[in-house]
Chains A and B, each alone.
Chain A
Amino acid sequence: AQSVTQPDIHITVSEGASLELRCNYSYGATPYLFWYVQSPGQGLQLLLKYFSGDTLVQGIKGFEAEFKRSQSSFNLRKPSVHWSDAAEYFCAVGARTGDMRFGAGTRLTVKP
């Protein structure tokens, strides 16, 4: 089955600083990749997704992610972090069979 690794359990950045969250996946075919965000006490919300085409994907809230097949990576970036971005972020890979696998998540703390 497909799998996802998010190497960073917890990241702290200052407000206004740039952000990169790492995601590596394992899947034998062309991956369908997703980033979700979970704010405290909230459900998961889709930030962006990659199916095919342009490897740089734009999402909501100013986030973007870049698919790099050679590195099996799908890292999430934001040029300037806001305090409201503090949340947990999950990378996921979807299979043709319909199931999806999520990473363990990266918790983002934003310092004032």
Chain B
Amino acid sequence: DVKVTQSSRYLVKRTGEKVFLECVQDMDHENMFWYRQDPGLGLRLIYFSYDVKMKEKGDIPEGYSVSREKKERFSLILESASTNQTSMYLCASSLGNQETQYFGPGTRLLVL
């Protein structure tokens, strides 16, 4: 079974803090993704990566950056957290383009 793990299920941070969300997959998948999920908006793509050190912006990259130094790990960074970044963050991975995405359990981030 594909396993995608996220470093935290719940996280509380202060405005202005730098926040790191970690995601690890164990199936040697090429592609990895970060989404945020908000009620009524569904999942919105923040960034995705199709290879180590490669990244592409999604629909809402502002205020976020990503890092993929190893194939199995994809990090989402909030350089200076703001209250409007309070959300559920979902990581996913897929074997390749247009393949099924496998999701982690999500990290619920609260920025105070």
Query: Are B59 and A102 in contact (CB-based, < 8 A)?
Result: no
Instruction: Tell whether A98 pairs with B48 under 8 Å between CB atoms, given A49-B100, A51-B98.
Output: yes
Q: Per-residue 0/1 for B72-112: is the Cβ within 8 Å of any A Cβ (1 yes, 0 no)?
A: 00000000000000000010101011111111111000000
CB atoms of B105 and A104 under 8 A apart: no
**B43 on the A face (CB < 8 A):** yes
* Residue pair A102, B97 in contact (C-beta under 8 Å): no
The residue of chain B having its C-beta at the shortest distance from the C-beta of A95 within the complex is: B98
Partner of B98, one of A1, A45, A90, A98: A98
Q: Mark A39-75, 1 if CB is under 8 A from B, else 0.
A: 0001111100101000000000000000000000000
A43, B107: Cα distance in complex, Å: 10
Q: Total interface residues on A, using CB and 8 Å? A: 27
Instruction: Flag if A1 contacts B103 (CB, 8 Å).
Output: no
B43-A99 in contact (CB<8A): no
Decide: B33 and A43 in contact? CB cutoff 8 A.
no
Which residue of the partner chain A has the closest CB to B96?
A: A98
User: Of the candidates A9, A34, A101, A102, which one forms a contact with B100 in the assembled complex, judged by CB atoms under 8 Å apart?
Assistant: A34
Residue in chain B with minimal CB distance to A101: B45
- A19 beta carbon closer than 8 Å to chain B: no
Contact between A100 and B90, CB atoms less than 8 A apart: no
The residues in B between 38 and 83 inclusive whose CB is less than 8 angstroms from any CB of A are 40-45, 48, 50, 56, 58-59
Cα distance A49–B101 when bound, in Å? 11
A residues apposed to B, CB below 8 Å = 1, 6, 9, 32, 34, 36, 42-46, 49, 51, 90, 92, 94-105
8 contacts between A and B (CB under 8 A): A42-B105, A43-B103, A43-B105, A44-B43, A90-B43, A92-B43, A98-B96, A104-B40
